[in-house]
Chain A
Amino acid sequence: MRNRNYISIFFDDEVPLLQAVRKLRESNEIITDVLSPFPVHGLDEALSIKRSRIPVVGFIFGAIGAILAFGFQAWVFTVSYPLIIGGKPFFAAPAFIPITLEVTVLFAGLSMVAAMLIRSKLKPDIRFVPVDKRITDDRFVILVEAADAKTTLMRVKSVLSGIQTIEIR
């Protein structure tokens, strides 16, 4: 037990993981994080993770893209340099729709990915070290906050007595 302020509980399947999460939350332990090799169905609910607002970001930026694209085309052909093209009016709205759609999608898509990377603090980093190398393979880990490692370890062990864990440390 080095000087750590959390305890890791290892599983090799998501079913005991979910049971453990529910039990730990019932006994008021603070779960700092749950790590898994794939998105576990039902985990969001068990951890009561609120639905992400990334779609809102996408909507706002998409709307900005739409206004920018449509406005720019309209400005170019009515104010900046009006040209008669194919006998169409200067403000040829139907012809501006395709580019407006494309720019909307581009803005919405890029902004959502950016939001995801920023919120999850994901960035290229050579020095990154994972908690366990097998998390991306077949290990599921619960990290529990522990002010005092020893007593929390005892407590967690008793809470999870009936559940199939690989290791608790």
Chain B
Amino acid sequence: MLQSPLRPPLIEGNKTYRSITSDILNPMMNKAGKYWYLGMTISGLAMLFGVFMIFWTVWQGIGTWGENRTVGWAFEITTFVWWIGIGHAGTFISAILLLFRQKWRNSINRSAEAMTIFAVICAALFPLIHLGRPLLTFFIFPYPNTRGLWVNFNSPLVWDVFAISTYFTISLVFWYVGLIPDIGTVRDKIKKGLKKNIYNFLSFGWKGSARDWHRHEVTSIMLAAIATPLVLSVHSIVSMDFASSIIPGWHTTIFPPYFVAGAIFSGFAMVQTLLIITRKAMGLEDFITPSHIENMNKILIATGSIVALAYMTEMFMAWYSGVEYEHYAFMNRATGPYWWAYLIMITCNVVSSQLLWIKKLRTSLAFTFFLSIVINIGMWFERFVIIVTSLHRDYLTSSWTMYKPTIVEFGLLIGTLGIFFTAFLLFIRIFPVISISEVKSVLKISGEKQHKKDLSHEK
């Protein structure tokens, strides 16, 4: 495999196989620093707050939320879609970038996949809470019951159940298959004790045989191939929760691809937020280089522009359709009582991501970090705008109303953030954050030493 010398090295510093292992494992196996404990405390508190609010919702009922008869869906479904969307970047990196042979994905895929799993867990919580009676969850699965009645397979909400459970299962399996060789590495680094036994158990007896590697590679690429339509379908199905209705502002055919683009957009923003901290905190600057960050920023421009194009298309079509309800829905979205949410959405998603065309901003880590948080806020508001502005103006003007979230609902958002970050912080202490074997496999092709050799060869 020859690489053009134009490409920046994927791994910096003069690494050997041995130093890759130790560089990735040491920050994980050494004692955790005080910032880790600080992070755990903060996210743990947030998680406790959220758990209490979940308990409060179940105990008191959904009346503790701000929803009313007109706006029956608001904060929770917004947060649900937001989390599902964030999950998409992980699968995008591990599946689509693998199929398109983007080698730079090798040092970010592990953490992005972990992020996917945690985000899907956070998202899956919301339908459970939303049921009001979580004990009756089994009602949403098709099972033979005494009344002979099945779930409604024509309903996008049931599609969601299948989509999200499949997505979670396949992401988890994909992630774990990738982890097996690296758990083997951890196993062989630990001398003895309970920890050794646990890692030995988790490593599935990985010995690194050529045939095993071959099957491992084939399985990974096949999982990537089937995860690609999966990742498209999941957010498409989520979008159909809205688009299969006939509510103006929801019923529009562009929704599936537009939601997928938006999901990848917000997911990459979250990956940026996490990785910029992780690489600093764990000293992984050689593996997650500024060029990795820049590549992800380029994906942010692309997906951000697709989202912007979708906003424009929707606006234009609402006008072009000549349907007065569509006209109203979109005018109301931009200039109605929720104009401020619309403004936040446009500023944070469209305007901010277009700044990345400037190379100086695109390569600046501080700016990227700031921007990634801005985009996450913007994408939350995008869902809020779509959901609430379409609902709060009902068909009957007498039912027109406004929606105001309560502290309980903010608690749920904060709580899931707590769960997400707690899980991520635990993950970086338990498993290697970077796929050791995959990084080793690109060292000879695109390590710094090789890169210098290529450059001198060129002259």
Query: Does chain A touch chain B in the assembled complex, meaning CB atoms less than 8 Å apart?
Result: yes
Interface pair A135/B208, CB less than 8 Å apart: yes
Bound Cα distance from A81 to B150, whole angstroms: 8
Bound Cα distance from A107 to B216, whole angstroms: 18
Distance between A13 CB and nearest chain B CB, rounded to angstroms = 8
Task: Give 6 CB contacts A-B under 8 Å.
Answer: A34-B209, A37-B208, A76-B150, A85-B155, A98-B156, A106-B166
Interface pair A105/B230, CB less than 8 Å apart: yes
Binding site for A on B (CB under 8 A): 1, 16-18, 21, 142, 148-150, 152-156, 158-159, 162-163, 166, 169-170, 173-174, 177, 180-181, 184-185, 187-189, 197, 200-219, 222-223, 226-227, 229-230, 233, 236-237, 240, 436-438, 440-441, 444
Which residues of chain A (123-150) have a CB below 8 Å from chain B? Answer: 123-128, 130-131, 133-138
Interface pair A120/B218, CB less than 8 Å apart: no
Contact with B along A106-117 (1 / 0, CB 8 A): 101110110111
A contact residues, total (Cβ < 8 Å):
67
Residues of chain A with a CB closer than 8 A to B184's CB = 130, 136
Question: Is A122 on the interface with B (CB-CB < 8 A)?
Answer: yes
Interface pair B17/A137, CB less than 8 Å apart: yes
Residues of chain A with a CB closer than 8 A to B163's CB = 98, 102
Interface pair A73/B210, CB less than 8 Å apart: no
Q: How many residue pairs between the two chains, A and B, have CB atoms under 8 Å in the bound complex?
A: 196
Residues of chain A with a CB closer than 8 A to B216's CB = 39, 116, 120
Interface pair A112/B222, CB less than 8 Å apart: yes
Bound Cα distance from A47 to B211, whole angstroms: 9
Binding site for B on A (CB under 8 A): 12, 14, 33-41, 43-44, 47, 49, 51-52, 54-55, 58, 62, 72-73, 76-77, 80-81, 83, 85-86, 88, 92, 95-96, 98-99, 101-103, 105-106, 108-110, 112-113, 115-117, 119-128, 130-131, 133-138
CB-CB under 8 A for A80 and B154, given A34-B210, A135-B208: no
| Among A41, A54, A76, contact of B1 (Cβ-Cβ < 8 Å) | A41
Interface pair B154/A122, CB less than 8 Å apart: no
Bound Cα distance from A14 to B213, whole angstroms: 14
Bound Cα distance from A116 to B223, whole angstroms: 12
Residues of chain A with a CB closer than 8 A to B158's CB = 99
Bound Cα distance from A108 to B229, whole angstroms: 13
Interface pair A119/B215, CB less than 8 Å apart: yes
Which chain B residue shows the least CB distance to A119? B215
CB-CB under 8 A for A58 and B226, given A39-B213, A52-B215, A103-B166: yes
Interface pair B215/A116, CB less than 8 Å apart: yes
Bound Cα distance from A70 to B353, whole angstroms: 41
Interface pair B201/A126, CB less than 8 Å apart: yes
Interface pair A36/B202, CB less than 8 Å apart: no
| Among B170, B215, B226, B230, contact of A54 (Cβ-Cβ < 8 Å) | B215
Interface pair B170/A49, CB less than 8 Å apart: no
| Among A38, A49, A113, A134, contact of B211 (Cβ-Cβ < 8 Å) | A49
Interface pair A95/B185, CB less than 8 Å apart: no
Interface pair B207/A135, CB less than 8 Å apart: yes
Q: Most chain-A CB neighbours within 10 Å: which of B153, B156, B181?
A: B153
Bound Cα distance from A86 to B154, whole angstroms: 9
CB-CB under 8 A for A109 and B169, given A76-B150, A119-B215: yes
Q: Most chain-A CB neighbours within 10 Å: which of B155, B205, B223, B444?
A: B205
